Amino acid sequence: MAYTILDGHKTLLNFPRGAEGTWTLDSYRTRGGYSALEAVLREGRYTPAGLLDQVKKSGLRGRGGAGFPTGLKWSFLAKQRPAYLVCNADESEPGTFKDRVILEENPHQLVEGMILSLFALEAEHGYVYVRGEYVHPQKRLDAAIREAYEAGYLGEDVLGAGRAYHITLHSGAGAYICGEETGLINSLEGRKGQPRLKPPFPAVIGVFNKPTIVNNVETLASVCSIAEFGGEAYAQWRNESGKSTGTKLFSVSGHVERPGVYEVPMGYPFKRLLEEECGGMLNGMPLKALIVGGSSVPVVDAETAMKIDLDYESCAAHGTLLGSGGVIVMGEGTCMVRSLEVLLRFYHHESCGQCTPCREGTGWIHRIVRRVEAGQGTMVDLDELYRIADNMEGKTICTLADAAAWPAKSHLRVFRQEFERHVHEGRCPFGGRFPDPFHLGPQA
Ligand SMILES: Cc1cc2nc3c(=O)[nH]c(=O)nc-3n(C[C@H](O)[C@H](O)[C@H](O)COP(=O)(O)O)c2cc1C
Ligand code: SF4
């Protein structure tokens, strides 16, 4: 299920819930699609610098996880040409499936957003790097790109404006690390998908050694609204501080009555999202824990969760991060040791192995948590878990190590008593049988 609470606006999911055919060019046009591009290219609504200025005014921040201001990032693009735009559609963070909805249900909005972004960046060629498992979304996007070429929105002379714009779709092969922008660039170039040391940043030396802007699907699709109505109109949706603007997609999974992707304005209370949009907790069970921004961000308890507004500042004030908007809701009865074990298994598996603290650290902390969940852990294990995770942070080429350390430290900090019960009782107090037959990784 996917829908916006902002009916009547040209936002990201501007079509009725469950509507058919929203991915076609005809449907997109009936919703005002490509009108911003026509106004920019045919009527000269903006110069490239003028559109970049609107993106800065909009306050749009990258929706891929880090929340870096998009206009500011664009202004770092080196002057050398050719330059490239890369759309990051790798979307592999556990709990995050919002880009998928844009690719499947509204792919033309991404295509239009990319062409407008190419215009603002004075670049001609964009790549979309889509995770390999997204076979159906790739088909939809591929069809939309073809339609856009046929309709003259892409090609050598777009809308007769004498400008060439091209988009190439590139399929990944199912590695989480290829979502990290420099790992993605290496993979796009045909190399091993391992992150590069920064600096130089992609805006200076990116794909094929040329200046490159990497942006998330949702970020680029949001540019359509900005080009259509202006940066200030986009920023009408804002939180109290005004530092988080626009609308944001949240993919909600876990113990809720109606999981799905919801578009809400920045600053929307989590409590309302849970109780009104998602229909409350599954079978009315009490909330126990929340991961608000995808698996990498610190977990919070129920009391804290209910105070969180869905924006960058409120999440930070409550000890977590907005991240990619992957909302994972956990009800009473969830074993938090098991929850951490599942996450760490993923990070250990996905570490690319270049940095020792990540390659070894993710394995060590995973094995400790496995032991604790199996009822074979000691109190020393708990201290070691925290110490190793702490030592992984901020010492590696990319932030995958941090992405494993933050959930580890926060699970232990917030739910320490539960970890201790596993040690003292010598078993999982929630009746978990571990290791289970389906997940036999390397033994502790
Ligand atoms: C391990 C790792 C995985 C990432 N995966 C993704 C991803 O799947 N999609 C994404 O947009 N950004 C991902 N990022 C963030 C990108 O490196 C980059 O910051 C982002 O694509 C920039 O786009 P934005 O400014 O529009 O957010 C990941 C980062 C790391 C460290
Ligand atoms: S932190 Fe991990 S995933 Fe990132 S470059 Fe180092 S080893 Fe690879």
Give residue 444's pLDDT band: very low, low, confident or very high (50, 70, 90).
very low
CA angle 293, 298, 304 (to 5 degrees): 90
Tokens found for residue 75:
């202004």
Output the CA 208–ligand 1 centroid distance in Å.
Answer: 19
Query: Which atom of ligand 2 lies at the shortest distance from residue 183's CA?
Result: 5
User: Residue 24: exposed, middle, or buried by beta-carbon count in 10 A (0-12, 13-18, 19+)?
Assistant: middle
Report the nearest atom of ligand 1 relative to the CA of 70.
25
Which atom of ligand 2 lies closest to the CA of 354?
7
- Ligand 2 mean position to 194 CA, how many Å? 7
Residues of the chain with pLDDT > 70: what percent? 95
Span 156-178, mean pLDDT? 97
Cα-to-centroid distance, 72 and ligand 1 (Å): 17
pLDDT tens, position by position, 191-227: 999 999 999 999 999 999 999 999 999 999 999 999 9
Q: Is 88 in the pocket of ligand 1 (CB under 6 A)?
A: yes
Joined together, the tokens standing for residue 78 give 């080196």
CATH placement of domain 336-425: 1.20.1440.230
Residues 385, 387, 391, CA angle at the centre, nearest 5°? Answer: 115
Quick one: pLDDT at residue 443?
Answer: 45
Task: List CB contacts of 130: < 8 A, sequence separation 6 or more.
Answer: 89, 90, 103, 137, 138, 141, 169, 170, 171, 172
Q: Give yes or no for residue 440 having a pLDDT over 50.
A: no
Q: Where in the chain is the domain with CATH 3.40.50.11540?
A: 2-234
Phi, psi for 245 (deg, rounded to 5): -120, 165
Q: Which residues contact 286 (CB under 8 A, 6 or more apart)?
A: 302, 331, 332
What are 373-407's pLDDT values in tens digits?
999 999 999 999 999 999 999 999 999 999 999 99
**What mean pLDDT is predicted for residues 232-245?**
90
Is 5 a pocket residue for ligand 1 (Cβ < 6 Å)?
no
In the block, tokens 């992405």 appear at: 403
Closest ligand, as measured to the CA of 95: 1
> Ligand 2 mean position to 399 CA, how many Å?
7
Question: Which ligand gives the minimal distance to the CA of 352?
Answer: 2
pLDDT > 90 in the chain, percent? 90
Domain span(s) for CATH 1.20.1440.230 in the chain:
336-425
> What digits encode the pLDDT tens for the residues 254-305?
999 999 999 999 999 999 999 999 999 999 999 999 999 999 999 999 999 9
Q: Which CATH class is domain 2-234?
A: alpha beta
Say if residues 82 and 125 touch (Cβ distance below 8 Å). yes
Q: Ligand 2 pocket test: pick from 93, 356, 392, 398 the residue with the most ligand atoms within 8 Å of its Cβ.
A: 398
Q: Using a 6 Å cutoff on CB, does residue 215 contact ligand 1?
A: yes
Q: Where in the chain is the domain with CATH 3.10.20.600?
A: 247-331
Ligand in closest contact with the CA of 64: 1
- CA nearest ligand 1 atom 13, residue: 179
Ligand number, closest to the Cα atom of 178: 1
Mean pLDDT of 364-378: 96
pLDDT grade, residue 1 (50/70/90)? low
Q: How far is the CA of 175 from the centre of ligand 2 (A)?
A: 12
User: For 247-331, which CATH class?
Assistant: alpha beta
Burial of 358 (0-12, 13-18, 19+ CB in 10 A): buried
Mutation test residue for ligand 1: of 58, 170, 180, the one with most atoms within 8 Å of CB: 180
| pLDDT for 5 beyond 80 | no
Report d(CA 81, CA 209) in Å as an integer.
11
